[in-house]
Structure 1
Amino acid sequence: MKTFLHCFLIAFLITASIVAIIYMIFPTSPIQVLLPQIVKTETKKENESKNNLKNGDLEKINEKIWNSIKNEIGHDKERIDCKRIIEGDESYVKLEAKSRLTYKDPENLLMDCKSIKERNYFLEKPLSTEEGKYPLAYARIVYESYRFLEAEFATNYQPQNWYCFAVDSQLEDEHFFQRIKALAKCFPNVIVPTKRYPVDSNGVHMGTAFMSCLEELSKKKYKWEYVFTLQNDDVQIKTNEEIIQILKWLGGANDVEYGLDQKELIQDLYKKFNWTFKDLKLFRDGWNLENNI
């Protein structure tokens, strides 16, 4: 019996650890399968009213962004049969892939605040009281594709959240940096650190670049519950409300990825750190958890 309980406890802890550290929000994450949707109990009338508000705002966001990009590249989305793509029509997807939509930042893109807001739709207030009371922060390393970043920013923008863009210092096109700074001037909740670092796809200086954002976000005037670290091309696939529901379900646990390829570095880490549940801080109450094992 003791052996059975011991094995059961180990299996439970391993499972809990895996769930705690899985990526939650972005395309590489299977969390949408693992975590249940936590939805508040509402009356039918309240729910319909809330959904109508959100759907109306989201439609404005999508339509305005698409129309501005369509005018820039002369491409019409009406020729694409979205239903066939969603239903998994592989032959149709392969056919459309041959004439896929491509985009390049226009050289004459207007960057005054009026122009930025005319080609996008930005929410002016939180979509719910719950979202307004649970601000989030985003730290993103950026180095190319400004127009994509602007559209992604507008799509997921929430006035109660904080956004930090750490710009690569070795850009081939300095117009990109000027555009990011121009975007930041139009919103009180957007930050661009003055310190810049050369980053590359191998991860060089990425930690330092992220820290430049985290140092800014850690100042007392910025209030947030969780911070997400993102790369240039990451796309958010959860709504702000869904993200908050997932984070509340995790109850304060952190989602952190760390990888090392060299055996020597791993062995060195084992010597330097305490790998107990308490010190790893994988669980909110690691001390009691360890005492109960």
Structure 2
Amino acid sequence: MRRLRGACHTGARMNARRFMLNLRRRFLPSLLSALTLIVLLLVCIKYNYLPESLPVEQGTTSQQFVKHNISCKAIYDMDPVEVGKSLVIRRERTVEDKDESLISFTGNCPAFMKIRGYDNLCVSDEEKDFPIAYSLVVHKNAWMVERLLRAVYSPNNIYCIHYDQKSSAEFISAMEGLAGCLPNVFISSKRETVHYASISRLKADLNCLSDLLISEVKWKYVINLCGQDFPLKSNMELVSELKELKGSNMLETSRPSELKKQRFLFHHELQDVSFEYKKLPVKTQQPKSPPPYDIKIFVGNAYFVLSREFVQFMNSSVVVREILAWSEDTYSPDEHFWATVVRLPGVPGEVSSSEPDITDLMSKTRLVKWQYLEENLYPPCSGQHVRSVCIFGAAELRWLLNYGHWFANKLDPKVDPILIQCLEEKLEEKQKLFQEGTRLTCPKG
């Protein structure tokens, strides 16, 4: 009887397990689907019953000053409803503001500065004693350049804008308008017709550096930016971290692969090409002469954080001028010039040629996601890929702000306007937070 009773209990338990298993198989997918539908429904309800956008300043019709009604805190916390809402907003076709509207806006400088908040920024004593210089090499999307400038702007800093000579007349006028309204923003005195991967891109930065050296602002460090960069640190944070460099420079500098060596072992000629760049340095079979003084060539990227002393040395160095001349017919010389010069013996903030490679993830100058390294070095891109580079999406807000880098590349309001809006909001919050308890100089009135 006991055996029979035990067998009955065992059979009952097995039947119960089978029943629960069948129940899970039948209803769990439906339950998950229902939960998914509920989340999507919440997104739709929240999105449809709240105003799509809120104007920052009444009377301003520009898309650039329209704030979407979304919680950046929730985006940062990866709230599924708010992230879902950002995806809905992203899919909406927005009419991009034309450069002409910025020309018109900067036609009234007091109104422009007031609406965009340039005229009410407070500066701490620490910031005042540590001005930063910027070299902005840009060629299109005037409004995005303005948003970048506003995000890094501080009244005690100095900003050089180099626009491409082949940029549209409207873009050039918009840049001139920015420089005309902001006293510490100027246009580079010498401008290049910039061609992708050619020496002209490097010369554009060098032109700004020369102008910055003779400016009245005695800046401590210079940072170069392009039009699709965006800061991840507030000005107060940058000042604090730049001080920690103690005169050293920050940039990528690594030993080249055999493939990368082809860029400077052979003569390249600027030729017409049939795709978007129009002109491109094309490799020939003609070997190049060795670099001057048999200097070892290192490679990196175009982005740098350089001390004033380094730039002064570079500006007066015969060796640096010879490296520049030798680089004229190489491919993408800005990706070996800075990386090599910083390794020269005796330069301020020298990185010894015997020291290990400094990769782009070790240098904090720019946070870039390469498609072929996603899942291995960093999470997948939530935006779009262009030529294997991620244009970031709002779902990466938390990752971007916490990774530790100072700037991100690339951002585009046409891909994800929410990310830019949230970065602007977070940077403003961080600036105020870091300024708390410090002595501030604020505009009167």
Q: CA deviation at 1:213?
A: 0.6
What does residue 70 of structure 2 align with? 80
Q: What is the TM-score of this pair, normalised by structure 1? A: 0.63
Q: CA deviation at 1:226?
A: 0.2
Q: Do the aligned partners of residues 65 and 243 (structure 1) sit closer, same or farther apart at CA in structure 2, a change above 3 Å counting? A: farther
Separation of aligned partners in 1, 2:213 and 2:190: 15
Structure 1 alignment gaps of length 5 or more: 1-63
Structure 2 alignment gaps of length 5 or more: 1-53, 266-289, 298-339, 356-445
Higher percent of residues as strand: 2
Q: CA deviation at 1:147?
A: 1.9
Q: Do the aligned partners of residues 115 and 203 (structure 1) sit closer, same or farther apart at CA in structure 2, a change above 3 Å counting? A: farther
Out of 200, 204, 209, the residue aligned to residue 209 of structure 1 is 204
Out of 192, 206, 222, the residue aligned to residue 227 of structure 1 is 222
| Structure with the larger RCO, 1 or 2 (CA within 8 Å, 6+ apart) | 1
User: Identity over the aligned pairs, expressed in percent?
Assistant: 24
1:99 aligns with 2:164: no
Residues 65 and 120 of structure 1 are in contact (CA less than 8 Å); yes or no, is this contact kept in structure 2?
no
- Cα deviation code 1:45-78 (max 9, x no counterpart): xxxxxxxxxxxxxxxxxxx994379622398535
Q: CA deviation at 1:285?
A: 7.7
The correspondence of residues 1-293 of structure 1 with structure 2, limited to 5 A, is 66-67=56-57, 71-73=61-63, 77-88=67-78, 89=80, 91-99=84-92, 103-105=96-98, 107-108=100-101, 109-112=104-107, 113-123=109-119, 126-171=122-167, 173-219=168-214, 221-257=216-252, 262-264=260-262, 268-269=290-291, 272-273=294-295, 279-280=344-345, 284=349
Q: CA deviation at 1:184?
A: 1.1
Q: RMSD over aligned Cα, in angstroms?
A: 3.7
In structure 2, what residue type is equivalent to 1:103? E
Separation of aligned partners in 1, 2:58 and 2:190: 32
Helix, strand or coil for the counterpart of 1:163? Answer: strand
Separation of aligned partners in 1, 2:215 and 2:149: 24
Residues 146 and 176 of structure 1 are in contact (CA less than 8 Å); yes or no, is this contact kept in structure 2?
yes
Helix, strand or coil for the counterpart of 2:233? Answer: coil
Residues 176 and 187 of structure 2 are in contact (CA less than 8 Å); yes or no, is this contact kept in structure 1?
yes
Q: What is the TM-score of this pair, normalised by structure 2? A: 0.43
Q: CA deviation at 1:208?
A: 0.6
Separation of aligned partners in 1, 2:135 and 2:64: 33
Q: CA deviation at 1:272?
A: 2.0
Max Rg structure: 2
- Cα deviation code 1:163-208 (max 9, x no counterpart): 000010011x202112211221223321212322112443551111
Q: CA deviation at 1:273?
A: 1.4
In structure 2, what residue type is equivalent to 1:195? K
Instruction: Give the number of aligned pairs.
Output: 225
Residues 139 and 227 of structure 2 are in contact (CA less than 8 Å); yes or no, is this contact kept in structure 1?
yes
Moved more, 183-192 or 252-261: 252-261
Residues 84 and 92 of structure 1 are in contact (CA less than 8 Å); yes or no, is this contact kept in structure 2?
no
Separation of aligned partners in 1, 2:236 and 2:180: 26
Residues 148 and 229 of structure 2 are in contact (CA less than 8 Å); yes or no, is this contact kept in structure 1?
no
Separation of aligned partners in 1, 2:66 and 2:55: 13
In structure 2, what residue type is equivalent to 1:210? D
Residues 62 and 97 of structure 2 are in contact (CA less than 8 Å); yes or no, is this contact kept in structure 1?
no
Separation of aligned partners in 1, 2:187 and 2:132: 17
Q: Do the aligned partners of residues 69 and 194 (structure 1) sit closer, same or farther apart at CA in structure 2, a change above 3 Å counting? A: farther
